[in-house]
Every structure is written in structure tokens, then in C-alpha cells.
């Protein structure tokens, strides 16, 4: 069985500090003799070495764990964000603990309180309402918290978000450039900062194109789900408007919308142009031209992780906002996976605002 630092120290006759320094490769730095290092290293080779994390946590007052709270792990975007954060944590010797809230504020509070009770060293949260977590902790708690994906106005936490306004603008422009009349923008949870930003970009592109009734083109649902997409497409078809082109605020809304469209008219018209936020390769199997604005989950994870480290070191004193650009992709139709623009949208940049 692997031995702990204390066991190796007891068996070799050296101090716990000496054993720990040798085990971490710092014998030379602290002028530990070669003879001493050889004895300890031989013991480690023979039995192995294990860190007593409970004792280490008590001594250092940290657990080497990070908490992630997101609305829904089945959402492809949040799943990829979690994967990126897990990789970053592994590279830093940390463990990521994840919880989902199903867009329920009470479940979000419970998840945050539970992770705090487990002693996580920091939290990364995609909140379902304006974040205010101080009320959940003891008064003396200084919990580093970074908000990701959703930057609510007047939030006192640093945020890392995608450039949703620029993405809405670029995606709408791409759909309009096909020449097909824009029939609708199907939006789930339009009150979220992410979706409201996409709507602002949509509105700007419509005004540029001389579409004055752009507000009438937006159909809203309180949910971001496949069911919401089905319901919104049903509303559109009940207006007697067969979509020449339409946009969706998320992949789940697009999935539901295409399901309902196929059920109602028997097929998905191949000439219908679609636009969606977030991306997956299965869109290539659609017969239609599909434009998608994919968030850079890897960069979002990297920036959120960096902000959390800054909070630990107290280098970042202001609740700054870091903006990460989208990637505009063309999928589906006869072009397969050809991309209209494989590069990142440049106007949003990747800095802080």
C-alpha cells in the first residue's frame, strides 16, 4: 500500500517537512543531503506515496477543489464548458465538482450552499438570475466567485461572457445575405442577458436591411428547450407563415422547431434557411443551409479559470467583464461542413471591457 508523508517520515527518521520537500523534487533547493534524499526516495519507490488530502486541507485551509454550477449539463454548450474546465483543473492538480440547477433559483442556492459547505476553493457559476451569493455564506466567508456566460447588469462579480450582440449581428447578416425573406426569430428565455444581447444584434442587422417590423418577427418562450422550439414553430405556422428563413436562440429551440415543422408539413423544405446559436456537427445532415454562431467554450473556460486564480491572489479588485468572440460557421445543404467564416469574429475581441 502507498504510504503517507507521516509514515515515510516515521520509518526513515526524518521530519515530515524533509520528506515532503524530497517527494516534491525540492531537495537540492533546500540543500538536503544526497544521502538523506536517497533514503527517502528509495522508501517512496518501494511503497509508493500518497497525499493525505484531509490533513493537507486542514493545514493549508484549502481543498484543491473548484465548484461549477450551470443550468443544464445536457446542454451541449455547458457540457463543453465543463469539459474545458475539467482539463484546466487536472493540469493544476485540482478537482472540479459540478452541479446543475435546471434554471431554478432555489436549486441554484442549494447547489452553491452545498459546494461551499464542502469547502471548495472557488466557484464558477452560470446564474439563472441576478447573482447575490453573499447571503448564502457565513459573514466571514471570502468565497472567490466568477460568473460565466450570463453577465447580469449591476452584478458585483467578475464575468466571462461571449460577445452575444456581435454574434446576433453577424448571424442575422449571414441569413439575410442569402436573399430569403426572414420569417421569424424563435427565442427561449429572452430575459436572459445572453438572449437579450443576441436580440440587440438581430435588431441592428434588421434595421441595416431596412426591416422596420423586426420586433414582430421575434416569438418568445419562457423556456429554453426542445418543447419551447416546438411551441414557437407551431405559433409561427398558425399565423399562416411557412418560414423561408428563420433563426433560433439555441440548438434546443432549433431541434424542437424543425421537429414541429416536419410534423406539420411532412418534411423540412430544403430551401428554408436556418440560423442558430451554438453549433454541432450533426447540423451537416440537414438538407438546408444552416448558419451557426458557436461560442468558444475553451476560451471561456480558460478566461474564467484565470479570473478565479486572480481572485485567489487578490490581483483583481474590480468586477471586470471579459468578452470572448463567437465563431460563425456554415453547415448543412450541399456544402456539408464548409464554413462561411472559419475565423473568430474580430469586432468583439478577447479582452476585458
> What is the pLDDT tens value at each position of the chain, 353 positions in all?
667 778 888 889 999 888 888 887 778 878 899 999 899 888 888 877 665 544 444 344 556 889 999 998 888 899 999 999 999 988 888 899 999 999 999 999 999 999 988 888 899 999 999 998 888 887 666 889 999 999 898 888 999 999 999 999 999 999 999 999 999 999 999 999 999 999 999 999 999 999 999 999 999 999 999 999 999 999 999 988 789 999 999 999 999 999 999 999 998 899 999 999 999 888 998 889 999 999 999 999 999 999 998 887 666 556 688 999 999 999 987 444 344 343 334 334 445 54
- pTM for the predicted model, two decimal places: 0.76
Model pLDDT, residue 52: 52
Model pLDDT, residue 61: 52
Model pLDDT, residue 118: 83
Fold of the domain built from segment(s) 164-296+327-335:
Rossmann fold (3.40.50)
For residues 69 and 111, the answer to whether their CB atoms sit within 8 Å is: yes
Positions of CATH 1.10.260 in the chain: 5-51
Model pLDDT, residue 143: 85
What does the angle CA 132 – CA 137 – CA 138 come to, to the nearest 5 degrees? 135
Architecture of domain 5-51: Orthogonal Bundle (1.10)
State the residue for C-alpha cell 469539459: 83
Mean pLDDT of all residues in the chain? 86
Model pLDDT, residue 100: 92
HEC per residue, the chain: CCECHHHHHHHHCCCHHHHHHHHCCCCCCCCCCHHHHHHHHHHHHHHCECCCHHHHHHHHCCCCEEEEEECCCCCHHHHHHHHHHHHHHHHCCCEEEEEECCCCHHHHHHHHHHHHHCCCCCEEECCCCCCCCHHHCCCCCCCCEEEECCCCCCCCCCEEEECHHHHHHHHHHHHHCCCCCCCEEEEECCCCHHHHHHHHHHHHHHHHCCCCCHHHHEEEECCCCHHHHHHHHHHHHHCCCCCCEEEECCHHHHHHHHHHHHHHHCCCCCCCEEEEECCCHHHHHCCCCEEEEEECHHHHHHHHHHHHHHHHHCCCCCCCEEEECEEEEEECHHHCCCCCCCCECCCCCCCEC
Positions of CATH 3.40.50.2300 in the chain: 61-161+298-321, 164-296+327-335
What are the cell numbers at 109?
Answer: 442556492
Structure confidence by residue, pLDDT tens digits, 98-111: 999 999 999 999 99
**What is the edge-to-edge ordering of all strands in the sheet holding 273-277?**
218-221, 184-188, 245-248, 273-277, 290-295, 326-331
Q: Specify whether the backbone of 324 is left (phi greater than 0), alpha (psi in -120 to 50) or beta.
A: beta
Question: Can you tell me the distance from the alpha carbon of 345 to that of 339, in angstroms, rounded to the nearest whole number?
Answer: 13
Architecture of domain 61-161+298-321: 3-Layer(aba) Sandwich (3.40)
For residues 68 and 97, the answer to whether their CB atoms sit within 8 Å is: yes
Model pLDDT, residue 206: 97
Model pLDDT, residue 317: 53
Structure confidence by residue, pLDDT tens digits, 135-159: 888 766 688 999 999 989 888 899 9
Amino acid at each position: 500500500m502507498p504510504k503517507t508523508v507521516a509514515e515515510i517520515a516515521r520509518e526513515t527518521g526524518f521530519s515530515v517537512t524533509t520528506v515532503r520537500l524530497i517527494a516534491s523534487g525540492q531537495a537540492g533547493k533546500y540543500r538536503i543531503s544526497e544521502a538523506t534524499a536517497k533514503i527517502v526516495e528509495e522508501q517512496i519507490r518501494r511503497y509508493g506515496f500518497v497525499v493525505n488530502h484531509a490533513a493537507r486541507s486542514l493545514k493549508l485551509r484549502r481543498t484543491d477543489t473548484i465548484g461549477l454550477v450551470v443550468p443544464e449539463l445536457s446542454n451541449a454548450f455547458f457540457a463543453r464548458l465543463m469539459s474545458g474546465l475539467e482539463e484546466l483543473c487536472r493540469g493544476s492538480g485540482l478537482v472540479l465538482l459540478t452541479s446543475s440547477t435546471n434554471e431554478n433559483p432555489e436549486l441554484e442556492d442549494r447547489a452553491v450552499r452545498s459546494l461551499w459547505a464542502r469547502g471548495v476553493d472557488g466557484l464558477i457559476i452560470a446564474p439563472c438570475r441576478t447573482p447575490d451569493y453573499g447571503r448564502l455564506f457565513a459573514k466571514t466567508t471570502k468565497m472567490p466567485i466568477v460568473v460565466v456566460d450570463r453577465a447580469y447588469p449591476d452584478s458585483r462579480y467578475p464575468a466571462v461572457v461571449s460577445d452575444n450582440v456581435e454574434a446576433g449581428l453577424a448571424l442575422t447578416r449571414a441569413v439575410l445575405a442569402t436573399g430569403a425573406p426572414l420569417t421569424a426569430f424563435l427565442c427561449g428565455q429572452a430575459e436572459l442577458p445572453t438572449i437579450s444581447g443576441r436580440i440587440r444584434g438581430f435588431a441592428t442587422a434588421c434595421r441595416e436591411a431596412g426591416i422596420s417590423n423586426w420586433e414582430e418577427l421575434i416569438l418568445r418562450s419562457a423556456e429554453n428547450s426542445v418543447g419551447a422550439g416546438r411551441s414557437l414553430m407551431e405559433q409561427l405556422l398558425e399565423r399562416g407563415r411557412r418560414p423561408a428563413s428563420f433563426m433560433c436562440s439555441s440548438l434546443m429551440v432549433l431541434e424542437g422547431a424543425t421537429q414541429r415543422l416536419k410534423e406539420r408539413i411532412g418534411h423540412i423544405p430544403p430551401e428554408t434557411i436556418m440560423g442558430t446559436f451554438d453549433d454541432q456537427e450533426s447540423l451537416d445532415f440537414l438538407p438546408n443551409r444552416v448558419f451557426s454562431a458557436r461560442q468558444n467554450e475553451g476560451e471561456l473556460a480558460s478566461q474564467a479559470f484565470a479570473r478565479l486564480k486572480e481572485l485567489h491572489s487578490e490581483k483583481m479588485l474590480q468586477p471586470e467583464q471579459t468578452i470572448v468572440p463567437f465563431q460563425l460557421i456554415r453547415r448543412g445543404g450541399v456544402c456539408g461542413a464548409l464554413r462561411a467564416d472559419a475565423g473568430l469574429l474580430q469586432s468583439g475581441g478577447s479582452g476585458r471591457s
